[in-house]
Amino acid sequence: MAATIEGATGVWEYAIGLEVHAQIVSNAKLFSGASTAFGAEPNANVSPIDAGMPGMLPVINMACIEQAVKTGLAIDGAVNAHSVFDRKNYFYPDLPQGYQISQYKQPVVSGGHLEIELEDGGTRRIGVERLHVEQDAGKSLHDRDPSSSHVDLNRSGVGLMEIVSHPDLRSPEEAATYVRKLRTILRYAGTCDGNMQEGSLRVDVNVSVRRPGGALGVRCEIKNLNSIRFLRRAIEVEASRQVGVLEAGGEIEQETRLFDVGRNVTRPMRGKEEAHDYRYFPDPDLPPLRLDRAWIDRIAASMPELPDARRARFMRDYGLSAYDAGVLVAEKENADFYEAAAEGRDKKLAANWVISELFGQLNKAGRTVDESPVGAAALGELIDLVADGAISGRIAKDVFAWMFETGKGAAAIVEEKGLRQVTDAGAIGAEIDGVMEREAAKVAEYRAGKHKLFGFFVGQVMRASGGKANPKAVNDILRAKLGG
Amino acid sequence: MSEPTDLTIAEARDLLAAGELSSRELTEAQIGAMEAGRGLNAYITETPEIALDMAEASDRRRSGGEAGKLEGIPVAIKDLFCTRGVPTTAGSRILDGFVPFYESTVTANMFAEGAVMLGKTNLDEFAMGSANLTSYYGAAINPWRARGDDRERVPGGSSGGSASAVAGRMALGATGTDTGGSIRQPAAFCGVVGLKPTYGRCSRWGVVAFASSLDQAGPMARSVRDAAIMLGAMAGHDPRDSTSADMPVPDFEEDIDAGVKGMRIGIPREYRVDGVPGEIEALWRRGVRWLEEQGAAAVEIGLPHTKYALPAYYVVAPAEASSNLARYDGVKYGLRVESDDLTAMYEQTRAQGFGAEVKRRVLIGAYVLSAGYYDAYYLKAQKVRARIADDFREAWRTVDAILTPATPSAAFRADDPPADPVAMYLNDIFTVPVNLAGLPGLSVPAGLTHDGLPLGLQVVGKAFDEATVLRVGRAIEAAAGFDARPAGR
């Protein structure tokens, strides 16, 4: 999946590293008791600590730390028994303290990695340098008033995990796959809801280019990408800008840039004279964070099943293909739905139903599995009707479409519409007799040796039965009658 | 009965308990004294109505059989403590109009123990200063005058308003905060007792921060016993302050008269400093003799890194201050100087909102934390700080407490302060190491200069051993028999 860039002077390679900011799932903020609920009235969820009032002090919310530890374990990172919160100092109206409390030199998790699935079916291991915990800033609103800006501090102080990868990613597509994979892991671990629209997951990307196999080039950081589509585009645009500069004999300056979606370019975020010196130093309000080994072990022992393990289990225990298993586990809700629908049934058949029929309909309707009008039990009932021979697979697809549309059960629809499959030999024989009578000339041709007409007769009989005749019975009886 | 305003807290407590005095009477007397003493500019905000309400509520509680540790005692609060519904200025223009909607833990604890708030006392801007000359609300004045010289003396700083109020009989006691000597130095200059407790003993929640790793609230009063009573009401673990110590709060008053017999008192040779007046050296020797006479043994000790304390302090404290004061940006509360754009608003607000000393320290702090200088200054200073703490730890192997002078001079004239900032910083030479090590330190009035200005001695103790510090302080107090009174009012 590695991609290259064709420059005027030859081929260039991408080197991409990601900094993912994942909002921690928690009831309260990282250093205050205020709520983290999304969508509240502006400044409704603000404690005096979040507002940077004089004399206010932060207190670590250990529920947030537990979430960070979980995430660290989920990416095979090393949880540090001793870590330190630092202050990152800069002025901005939505940063009420005048500094962000973050972790600088001693993060709570060091190292780690995750496997990304490549298009060719293989996987690649992407290294994670660190995971640290920090507080989010508020939000500046510039569109409320022509003469002034407003500040909403609801998000101020909400806990974030910053997960920093090594520059191991080799194409915009790999970067996208990494974000999707990380998001899946976070959602399985229950530590971040991964909602990019609401800003629960934000991505900064470091991009550099180099000659294949050469040393890493100078990188630029593009901040605050809030969709995977923009991430991909920003990387492409920035890499080709860098190739252009380098091929013209210029040098890349390490800087922070913003992606201008409208003009499809990246541009420097601030001039050099405004470059920030964050003056990091340990926050004197917070003693070092010390984690008890036994506490970490308890968290490790209670970790939920993660996507890679689930995918492997689907392949091993259910005989699913790597592709199908991958599709099913990508969203935890989908995999949960599948497992419920497949319970006590043919696993592969259930996988087909979920992937092709259910996902197809959901896609068309623009819904998630949680919003599906057909529940896992209802889908299971439909699968059972096919397995029992009560309806044919073809009819079942129609039944599913009706179920999706009306929310009614499979059996009810089959009864209501009289779709139960006909297996009675007498009834099928009568239909066959009728067809043979109408198509006497073709019967003669068949009997003269034109056996490829068999399919034609099957089709006629099925149509005459309204699709309800059992195909196997039709085959058997028809063959006997034509043979006679 | 002496004038109510002349009572110690312990005396007032007994009279209140005996029903011979009501909190309302005591508070009214204090309010009268506050009005009479306005020339000292000790208070930034007087709160007589609140005081009378609190006094009446206290009298009602007492008649209902309830009495806290400070029941009915009128006290002054340094204007660095956030007080609900009462303007809190930190002595700075930048907090113009700021009225907290929350109560600091220390004041809440005191009020829960029955204390009555008289008002908010003057201080150096953001507690940065040693003479109370940097307050936006004007200098507080020391009630003491030198004999034959009627010119005004500084009360010391930064808790100069509190010291002036207590010395000037405008409060029975007051809260202070001490980052490098801000309780002990003004206490010494004003002839009162000032105690900086162990770092973590009193919650910092709701106290406007100067330097978070050094700031500590403590009592200022007219006797060692009063300081012990006040500390008992102020101290305690606070889950809202992560640096607050989860330690039991003993009855500090209990063993205060137990004496110093058998104690070993350390006399650090590094505290003999050139340029310190002979009468301060003499007072120190006298202090040693008093303790020896009461059965203690004086032991010469070394605190070898003492000379690095002041430079290290003037790196660490400004570094933390530069970050702590970043929140005063004109956006949320306090002063805002409207300007054309955001950067100009920040610049104008902070330029007009902060005074020269605060700006100086913010600049020093930003400098020592900046890229390329962090290791050479901040990190180095932290290492020095660890060595200074080690010095004291080493000393505790041989001694129970340490005795030093409190200040290198008596109160200087307000119109003739030390010529430059560094000379001013030298005021804290004996107090700063104690903050860097996080230890308790007590300043006790012990004598007068040749021209009649008060001088203090400092007792330093082990972490969370305020009880011993107070015992030694009480022994000095008893021996010194300090009963001089300020003539300034």
Greatest Cα pair distance in chain B: 70
Q: Determine whether the interchain pair A279/B366 forms a contact, defined as Cβ–Cβ distance below 8 Å.
A: yes
pLDDT of residue A275: 67
Q: Flag whether residue A322 sits within 8 Å of chain B, measured between CB atoms.
A: no
Percent pLDDT > 90 in chain B is 95
Q: Where are the beta strands (DSSP E) in A64-141?
A: 78-79, 82-83, 86-89, 99-102, 109-110, 113-117, 123-135, 139-141
Q: Flag whether residue A96 sits within 8 Å of chain B, measured between CB atoms.
A: yes
Percent pLDDT > 70 in chain A is 99
pLDDT of residue B488: 57
How far apart CA B437 and CA B214 sit, in angstroms, is 9
Local structure of B62: helix, strand or coil: helix
pLDDT tens digits for B443-462? 999 999 999 999 999 999 99
Are A160 and A88 spatial neighbours (Cβ–Cβ below 8 Å)? no
pLDDT tens digits for A137-175? 999 998 888 888 899 999 999 999 999 999 999 999 999
For residue B208, the chain A residues in CB contact (below 8 A) are: 54-55
CB proximity list for B78: less than 8 A, separation 6 or greater: B120, B121, B123, B159, B161, B162, B174, B175, B176, B177
To which residue do tokens 């610049």 refer? B347
Q: Is B182 a catalytic residue?
A: yes
Q: Determine whether the interchain pair B206/A97 forms a contact, defined as Cβ–Cβ distance below 8 Å.
A: no
Which of B22, B58, B69, B78 is an active site residue? B78
Tokens in use for B335?
A: 């002063």
pLDDT of residue A142: 87
pLDDT of residue A483: 81
Percent pLDDT > 90 in chain A is 74
Evaluate if residue A393 carries a pLDDT over 90.
no
In Å, how far from its chain's centre is CA B324? 20
pLDDT of residue A274: 64
CB proximity list for A7: less than 8 A, separation 6 or greater: A243, A246, A247
What is the CATH number for B122? 3.90.1300.10
Nearest residue in chain A measured CA to CA from B377:
A281
pLDDT of residue A356: 93
Could you tell me which of B395, B396, B425, B393 has the C-alpha nearest to residue B408? B425
Are B151 and B413 spatial neighbours (Cβ–Cβ below 8 Å)? yes
Tell me B405's DSSP state.
E
A-B C-beta contacts closer than 8 Å: 96
Are A250 and A261 spatial neighbours (Cβ–Cβ below 8 Å)? no
Evaluate if residue B1 carries a pLDDT over 60.
no
Residue among B102, B212, B331 whose CB faces A48 most closely: B102
Q: How confident is the model at residue A1 (pLDDT cuts 50, 70, 90)?
A: low
What value does the mean pLDDT take over residues A312-326?
95
Q: Determine whether the interchain pair B370/A284 forms a contact, defined as Cβ–Cβ distance below 8 Å.
A: no
Nearest residue in chain A measured CA to CA from B103:
A55
Cα→Cα distances B276→A55, B152, B397, B435, Å? 37, 22, 29, 21
Evaluate if residue A272 carries a pLDDT over 70.
no
* H helix or E strand, kind and range, residue B216: strand B216-221
pLDDT of residue B481: 95
Q: Which residues 27-66 of A have a C-beta within 8 angstroms of B? A: 48, 51-60
Q: Is B92 a catalytic residue?
A: no
Evaluate if residue B114 carries a pLDDT over 80.
yes
Q: How confident is the model at residue A392 (pLDDT cuts 50, 70, 90)?
A: confident
For residue A279, the chain B residues in CB contact (below 8 A) are: 322-323, 366, 369-371, 374
- B194, exposed or middle or buried, with CB in 10 Å at 0-12, 13-18, 19+? buried
pLDDT of residue A451: 87
Phi-psi region of B114 (alpha: psi -120 to 50; beta: other; left: phi over 0): left
DSSP string for B339-357: -SSHHHHHHHHHHHHS-HH
Residue among A56, A279, A286 whose CB faces B242 most closely: A286
Q: Flag whether residue B101 sits within 8 Å of chain A, measured between CB atoms.
A: yes
How close B66 comes to chain A (CA, Å)? 31
Chain A interface mutation, best of B175, B213, B327, highest count of A Cβ atoms under 10 Å: B327
Which of B135, B158, B164, B244 is an active site residue? B158
First-residue to last-residue Cα distance in chain B = 21
The segment with the largest mean pLDDT, out of A119-128, A147-156, A247-256, B84-93, is: B84-93
Pairing of strands A10-23, A4-7: antiparallel
Residue among A55, A91, A280 whose CB faces B329 most closely: A91
Mean pLDDT of the residues in chain B: 96
pLDDT tens digits for B156-199? 999 999 999 999 999 999 999 999 999 999 999 999 999 999 99
Chain A interface mutation, best of B203, B212, B329, highest count of A Cβ atoms under 10 Å: B329
pLDDT of residue B230: 98
Q: How confident is the model at residue A462 (pLDDT cuts 50, 70, 90)?
A: confident
Backbone angles phi, psi at A267, to 5 degrees: -140, 155
How far apart CA B470 and CA B451 sit, in angstroms, is 28
DSSP string for A73-88: HHTTPEEPSEE--EEE
* H helix or E strand, kind and range, residue A239: helix A228-247
Q: Determine whether the interchain pair A57/B241 forms a contact, defined as Cβ–Cβ distance below 8 Å.
A: yes
Are B402 and B460 spatial neighbours (Cβ–Cβ below 8 Å)? yes
Are A422 and A469 spatial neighbours (Cβ–Cβ below 8 Å)? yes
Q: Flag whether residue A98 sits within 8 Å of chain B, measured between CB atoms.
A: yes
- B449, exposed or middle or buried, with CB in 10 Å at 0-12, 13-18, 19+? middle
Domains: count for chain B: 1
Q: Hey, how many other C-beta atoms are within 10 angstroms of the C-beta on B62?
A: 19
Q: Where are the beta strands (DSSP E) in B294-353?
A: 297-301
> Which domains does chain A carry?
4-299 (no CATH), 305-417 (no CATH), 425-483 (1.10.10.410)
Are A61 and A47 spatial neighbours (Cβ–Cβ below 8 Å)? no
pLDDT of residue B28: 98
Phi-psi region of A39 (alpha: psi -120 to 50; beta: other; left: phi over 0): left
Q: How confident is the model at residue A271 (pLDDT cuts 50, 70, 90)?
A: low
pLDDT of residue B421: 83
pLDDT of residue B358: 98
How far apart CA A131 and CA B402 sit, in angstroms, is 46
ipTM entry:
0.96
pLDDT tens digits for B15-67? 999 999 999 999 999 999 999 999 999 999 999 999 999 999 999 999 999 99
Q: Flag whether residue B321 sits within 8 Å of chain A, measured between CB atoms.
A: no
In terms of residue numbers, what domain contains B208? 1-489
What value does the mean pLDDT take over residues B340-355?
96
For residue A277, the chain B residues in CB contact (below 8 A) are: 370-371
Q: How confident is the model at residue B349 (pLDDT cuts 50, 70, 90)?
A: very high
Q: Determine whether the interchain pair A56/B206 forms a contact, defined as Cβ–Cβ distance below 8 Å.
A: yes
Q: Is B158 a catalytic residue?
A: yes
Are A36 and A209 spatial neighbours (Cβ–Cβ below 8 Å)? no
What value does the mean pLDDT take over residues A282-296?
97
pLDDT tens digits for B207-254? 999 999 999 999 999 999 999 999 999 999 999 999 999 999 999 999
Q: Determine whether the interchain pair A53/B211 forms a contact, defined as Cβ–Cβ distance below 8 Å.
A: no
What value does the mean pLDDT take over residues B113-141?
97
pLDDT of residue A208: 97
Higher pLDDT residue, B351 or A118? B351
Tokens in use for B162?
A: 């509190």
Cα→Cα distances A213→A118, A216, A244, B56, B364, Å? 20, 9, 19, 83, 46
Looking at the DSSP bridge assignments, the partners of residue B194 are B220, B443
